[in-house]
Structure 1
Amino acid sequence: MFIIFLVIVLDLIGFGIMIPIFPYFAQNLGAGAGLATALMATYSAALFISTPLLGRLSDYYGRKPVLLLSMAGAVAAYLLLASSTTLWMIALARILGGAMAGNLAAAQAYVTDITTAENRAKGMGMVGAAFGIGFIVGPALGSALAGEDFESANFVLPALFSAVMSALAFFTILFFLPESLPLESRQALRRQARQSRLQSLRTLASKPALMAIISCALVYNIGAGLVESLFPIWTAELGVIDGPRGLMPILLASGIVLVAIQGGLIGPLTRRFGELTLLRSGACIYAGGLVFMAWAGEQGSLLLVTIAMMVQSAGAACVLTSAQSLASMAAVHTDRGMVMGIFSSAGTLGRTLGTVVTGSLFAHVYLHSSYLLGACLSLVLLYLSRSAAPIVELRAQAK
C-alpha cells in the first residue's frame, strides 16, 4: 500500500503545483476570466476521455504498464507547459496532461486489488489522503514558486518542478511497484469480447444502485468544477489576496483538513455511520461551506475564507471517499478498472462542465453565482443517494 500511496502523492504534488497559478498563467498571456477557466476545462475534458480507457487497459494488461506510460506522458506535458508562450500551447499542454491523468483510475483499481471489502473504505481513504497531501504540498509549492505578486510571477519554475515530480513517480513505479492484478485475471478478461464505452455503460445501467453513485460523482463534480477552478481569480478580484503566494495559507489549511479526514478519521467514521450516511452528511457540509464562502468573500477576510475552505474540504472528504468506496463495492474483480474508470470519468465530465462555464458566470452573471449554484447541486446528492442503498444491503448480506 505504501508504494502506490507514494506514487499517487508524487503525481498529485505535480498536479497540485499548477492548480493555484494556472489561471494567472493564462491571464498573463492575455486570457480573460472566461477563457482562463475554459482552458482549465481542456484538462478535464481530456481526462474524461482517457480515464475509462486507461482504467480498462489496466484490466487487460495490468496496472503497472498503464501507470508507467501515463507518468512518462505527464513529464512531457509539464515540459511543454513550461515552454508555452501562447494560449494554444497552454491548451495543448493541458490536453496532454489531462489525458495522462487518467492513470488515477488504474491507481484506484490497484488499491481495490490489494484491499478486501471490509477495509475498502480505509484503502480509498488512503487514496484520498494522498490527494490531500498532494493538495497541501503541491499548491503551497506552486504559490511559493510563482512569487509574491501577479505582475512578476514566475510560471516556468512551477511547471518544471511538476515535471520532476512526475519523473520521480515514474521511477518509483518502475523499480518498486509490483503488479497487483493476477495474470490469470488479465488472461481471462482478454478471452472475453471487448466492450465499447457505450456497451460498458449499458452494463452499468443494469445496476441502478451503481448508476446512482456514478450520478452522485457527476453532480458533485459539476459543483466542484464551478468553484475550484474559479477560486484563484475570485480571491484576487475580491482583494482577499495580493499575489499567488497569498493562496498558501488557505490551501494549506484546507489540505490538512482533507488529509486528517481521509487519512485518519474516515475509517472510524465509516465503521460508526456507514458510507451512505457519510455521503449524505458530506453533501450537506459541502453545501454549507459554499454558502459560507460566498459570504466570507463579501467580507474580504482571509481568515473567514480560510475557514470556509476548511468546511468545504471536510464535506468533500466525506463525499469523495464514501462514493469511491460504494462504487468499488458494486464492481466484480475483473470489472473494477472499468467501473472505477467510468466513475472517475463521470467526475471529470462534471468538472469539465463546471469549469468551462464558471468564468463566464463570474464575469457576466454574478460574482458569487458559482458558489451558490454549487451549493444547490450538492444538495441534489441527497436525492440521488436514496437509490444507492442496495449496495450497502448487499455488502451486509455478504458478511
Structure 2
Amino acid sequence: MTVENPRRALGVVFLIVFVDLLGFGILIPVIPLYALSFGATEFVGSLLIASYSAMQFLAAPLLGRLSDSRGRRPVLLLSLTGSVLAWLLFGVAGSLAVLFAARMLAGAMGGNIATAQAYIADITAADDRAKGLGLLGAAFGLGFVFGPALGGFFASESVITAVRGVLPAFVPVSEFSLPSFAAAVITGTNLVVAFLILPESRPPDAHETPASTEPRESRVQQLLSALRSPGLGTLVASFFLVSFAFSALESQFIFLTNDQYGYGATENAVLLTYVGVVLAVVQGGLVGPLTDRFGEYRLAVGGAAIQVLTLAAVPFSPQLGAFVPDLGALLPVGPVLPAGVLALLVVMTPLSFGNALTNVSLNTLVSRSATDDEQGGAFGLTQSAGSLARTFGPALAGGLYTGVAFWTPFVVGGALLVPILVLLGRLDREAVTSTAG
C-alpha cells in the first residue's frame, strides 16, 4: 500500500466510479427505445444490450492485467477517455450499425471495473476489504439512482426545445441524442478530476517488471482453467450464474413494464431509480455490518436464496397486485400507482437487496483468494465470467420473452440461482472445517 492518504484515495475512486456509472445510467431507460427507433425488434434490442457485455468480457481481464503491470491510474484514465468517445458516437449515431459500434466501445471501456476493484484492494487491509468494496458497490447504486433520472430529464421535451435554441443546427438534438451528449460531458468531467487528483496505488517496482513472452490463454481458456480450481472455480461459477440470471431482469424489464403497464422511459426511470436507492443503501451501509456478523459465504448464499423467489415473481406483479390494498380509496388526492406496480416495487425491494448482498460478498471472496500481485487479474477473470453471462443471458431472455412467454426469462433466471446455494454452501462448510482444523 503506497498511497499516503488511503481514505482520500478511496473517496476519489468512489467519485470516479459514481460519475462513470452516472453517465452509463443516463442511457439505461433510453437504449431500448433508441434501438426501436431504428426499426429494431425487441430481440435485436436485447442484442444491443448484450453487445456491451460482450466487449466488457473481452476487455476486463486485459485491463485488469494491464493495471497489474502498468498501474491502476493509467488504465482508469484510458478507459474514461474511451467512454467519452463512445457516448459522443452514441449521440450522433445515424444507423443501428453505428449504435452497435458505440455500444461496443463503451463496453470495452466498461471493463475498468476490475481495475477499480483492484485499486480498492490495494489501499485497504484484508479485514476492511468488504467495506471498501461495499462502498464501491454503493457508487454503482448511486449511479443508478441519479443516472436514469437525469436521462429522463435530458429526454424531456422542454429541455430538448431549450437546447435546440442554443446548439448549432448541425448537432442532432433528440430524446435519444441529448442524454448521450450529457453522458459524454459528465464522463469528460470525471476524466479531468481523475487526471488531477487520482494517485497511483501500486508501488513503481510492482508494475515495471518486463512483460512475459509466454503466450496468453484466451478468455474462455482462463475461465475453464479457473473452473477447475477448487475455491476460485466455485466463485467464478457463482458469478456466472448470478449474472446470467439477473440479466433476464436487466434486459427485459423495460419491455415487460411497457407491455403490462404501457410505461415508457420516464416511468421506467422512476422504477430504476428506486432500485438504485435500495442497492446504494445495502452496499454502502448494510454490507459491512452484516459481513462482520454472518461472513461473506453466508451473505452470498442468503442473497442468492432471496433472489430465487423474487426474480421469478417479477412478471406476475399484475396478479400479485390483487393482494395490495386499494390506495386510491385511502388516498383519493393526487396520482396513485396501480396496484400491480406497487406489487412490483414490493418484489423488487428484496430482489435488489439479495442481489447487492451476493455481488459484494462474491467480490470480497475473490479478493481474498488472490495475492496482492494478482488482484487485478482475479477481478478481471470473475468480471469476465459475469460479462460473458450478460452477453448470452439477454439473447436467451429475449428469445424466451418473444418466442415462448413473457414470464419465462424471469422464472428460468430464478431457477438458475438454485445451484449457487449448493456451491457456496459447500464452500462455506469447507472453509469452516479448514479454519477449525
TM-score bracket relative to the smaller structure: over 0.9
Deviation at 1:357, TM superposition (A): 2.1
Q: Which residue in the other structure is 1:143 paired with? A: 152
Per the alignment, residue 19 of structure 1 pairs with: 28
Aligned length: 395
Name the counterpart of 2:349. 310
TM-score (structure 2 length as normaliser): 0.85
Please say if residues 71 and 166 of structure 1, whose CA atoms lie closer than 8 Å, have aligned partners that are also in contact: yes
Residue among 242, 248, 255 paired with 1:233: 255
State the SS of the aligned residue for 1:187.
coil
Check 1:371–1:335 CA distance in 2 against 1; reply closer, same or farther (3 A cut).
same
Deviation (angstroms), 1:144:
3.1
What is aligned with 2:299?
Answer: 278
Is residue 94 from structure 1 mapped to residue 103 from structure 2 by the alignment? yes
Correspondence for 1:224 among 246, 258, 266: 246
Is 1:84 equivalent to 2:123 in the alignment? no
SS of the residue corresponding to residue 294 of structure 1 reads helix
Quick check: 1:292 aligned with 2:313?
A: yes
Q: Which of 189, 192, 195 is 1:174 aligned to?
A: 195
Counterparts in 2 of 1:193 and 1:112: CA distance versus 1, 3 Å: farther
**In structure 2, C-alpha distance between the alignment counterparts of 1:190 and 1:182, rounded to whole Å:** 17
Measured against aligned partners, the alpha-carbon deviations of 1:51-81 in whole angstroms (never above 9, x if no partner) come to 0000010001000101111111100000000
Superposed, which structure 2 residues align to 1:358-369 within 5 Å?
Answer: 358-369=397-408
Alpha-carbon spacing, 1:9–1:353, altered in 2? closer, same or farther (3 Å): same
Moved more, 125-134 or 296-305: 296-305
Q: Structure 2 CA distance, aligned partners of 1:270 and 1:160?
A: 40
Range 187-196 or range 290-299, more displaced: 187-196
TM-score normalised by structure 1 residue count: 0.93
TM-superposed CA distance for 1:388, in Å, is 3.1
Kept in 2, the 8 Å contact 1:210–1:388? The answer is no
Change (3 A) 1:240 1:288: farther
Partner of 1:377: 416
Asked whether the 8 Å contact 2:251–2:394 carries over to 1, the reply is: yes
Secondary structure in structure 2 of the residue aligned to 1:230? helix
Q: Secondary structure at the match of 1:229?
A: helix
**Residue identity matched to 2:246:** A
Q: C-alpha root-mean-square deviation of aligned residues, in Å?
A: 2.3
SS of residue in 2 equivalent to 1:238: helix
Of the three residues 101, 116, 128, the one matched with 2:125 is 116
Q: Residues 193 and 392 (structure 1 numbering): CA distance in 2 closer, same or farther, change over 3 Å? A: farther
Matches within 5 A, 1:1-399: 1-147=10-156, 154-188=175-209, 190=211, 195-197=216-218, 200-201=222-223, 204=226, 207-239=229-261, 241=263, 243-298=264-319, 299=321, 301-389=340-428, 392-393=431-432
Paired letter, 1:227: L
Q: Segments of 4+ in structure 1 off by > 2 A?
A: 143-148, 187-207, 297-300, 386-398
Q: Could you tell me how far apart the structure 1 residues matched to 2:191 and 2:105 are? A: 17
Change (3 A) 1:117 1:302: same
Unaligned runs of 5+ in 1: none
SS in 2 for 1:19: coil
Task: State whether residues 18 and 140 of structure 2, in contact with CA within 8 Å, keep that contact through their aligned partners in structure 1.
Answer: yes
Amino acid at match of 2:258: A
Residue 251 of structure 1 and its aligned partner are, at CA, apart by: 1.4
* Higher Rg: 2
**1:191 positional shift:** 6.8
CA positional deviation for 1:145: 2.5
The residue type equivalent to 2:272 in the other structure is L
Call closer, same or farther: CA 1:118–1:397 in 2, change over 3 Å.
Answer: farther
* Structure 2 spans left out of the alignment, 5+ residues: 1-9, 162-173, 322-337
